[in-house]
Amino acid sequence: MGTPDDVWPYGAIARRLVCRAGHAIASFQTHDLEDACLHYYLVGGRLYELPRDGKLGPPRLERGRLVVPVERIAHAYVPSGPVSVLAFCYRCREVFAIRSVGRHRRFTTWNPVVEYELCFVAGKLRRIVPKQVESSDDVRKRLRGEGWTIVSRRHPKAVAHLRECARWEAPLPKRRYIRPKRGRWSRL
């Protein structure tokens, strides 16, 4: 199995591909197209493949940074048949759960799964069939059925997980220092 392709819906179709709470999903993944980590736009009921490379535009300086625009022209992609797309809703509240396995306790977090089947005929989207559209309550029921114990966001493992996520998502400090091979520390 290769690397999944990304499908980015836009326009009226994006408003139909939502989770149970009504949150729009920005991008989906699928193994039903090329399976080569390609990017596709779903606009007006048609798929467009975004090429990996593009024509470089003239570089310009903006706020002390060099910006090099890349022009990429998307080509129409003509699938026939069903294309299954899958995503997780990260705007819904994630569910925290713990399960005892032997002497150890396992911790997991889950977001609601959103899976649709897009039915194409000669490259034109004809039908959108929901396969699995979950809410946070559905995730809780599923995890309870699998033997997990649902815990709150205040549980020590959940708090540690949220702190770790916040640490990775924290912005870099404004002043950064480098250590030279010899001499003093200097500011970048």
Q: What is the pLDDT of residues 130-173, one digit of tens each?
A: 999 999 999 999 999 999 999 988 888 888 888 887 777 655 55
Residue ranges of alpha helices (H) inside 30-155 are 136-145
Q: What is the pLDDT of residues 22-60, one digit of tens each?
A: 999 989 999 998 888 888 989 989 999 887 776 667 778
- The predicted model scores a pTM of 0.74
Q: What's 159's DSSP letter?
A: H
Phi, psi of 25 (to 5 degrees): -100, 125
Where are the chain's structural domains? 5-172
Cβ neighbours, 10 Å, residue 139: 22
Tell me the Ramachandran region of residue 11: left when phi exceeds 0, alpha when psi lies from -120 to 50, beta otherwise: left
**Dist. CA 1–CA 32, nearest whole Å:** 11
